[in-house]
Amino acid sequence: MSSETAVTVVVTRKVKRGREQDYERWLDALIKEAAALPGYLGTNIHRPSGGSNEYTTVFRFDSIENLRRFEESDLRRRALAEVVDFVEADAVWQKLTGLEFWFTPPPGTVVPQPSRFRMALVMIAVVYGLVFSIGKLVGLVLEAAPLPIRLLVTITIEVFFMTYWLMPRLTRWLARFIYPR
């Protein structure tokens, strides 16, 4: 992995009604080819819900340099030419290199990313609470284990808990604080 900061690219596209299966096939092919690129870390797809036709795709690269290689690649040029018939307009691209990846804006949010200061305050509160509570619990359960093992278990539990459960909910609950007008 490069010494540069990892980067996340969030791509939002409105797919034409009736072309969803074509778009899904196109997206699957793009992801399979992108997986062979240097620095590619993975992709998550958020499919439309509630009658929406908007797909959000999250691509992760280990460095800005490797993202740029992808952006300048024949693969990307070809993929953008192929998708035109399946979408209503050009995609909205957003690059994230910091903690803002933890905070997914609620639908309809106009601000492209949360307030960095407020995001830091929320993260401090969350990490403190998790380290204190989960760390104490892991310490009790794995009392005989060496400190590095207890720390690894604690961090693993915290990161998965934050990523898949806590942060998506907190972002919705604290949206007015995190995304000031």
Beta sheet of 92-96, edge-to-edge order: 40-46, 54-61, 7-14, 92-96
Residues 49 and 84 in one domain: yes
Q: Is 109 inside a domain boundary?
A: no
Residues 11 and 84 in one domain: yes
User: Which of 38, 64, 97 is a domain's end point?
Assistant: 97
DSSP-derived pairing of the beta strands 92-96 and 54-61: unpaired
Mean pLDDT per 10-residue section of the chain, whose length is 181 residues: 62 90 93 91 84 86 85 89 86 58 48 65 88 91 93 90 78 70 56
State the CATH number of the domain containing residue 52: 3.30.70.100
Q: Which domain, by its residues, includes 158?
A: 116-178
Q: Is 38 inside a domain boundary?
A: yes
Report pLDDT for 180. Answer: 59
Residues 67 and 120 in one domain: no
Residues 14 and 56 in one domain: yes
Q: Is 107 inside a domain boundary?
A: no
Give pTM, 2 decimals: 0.51
Report pLDDT for 36. Answer: 92
Domain count, the chain: 2
Report pLDDT for 93. Answer: 66
Report pLDDT for 138. Answer: 93
CA distance 115 to 24: 33
Report pLDDT for 104. Answer: 53
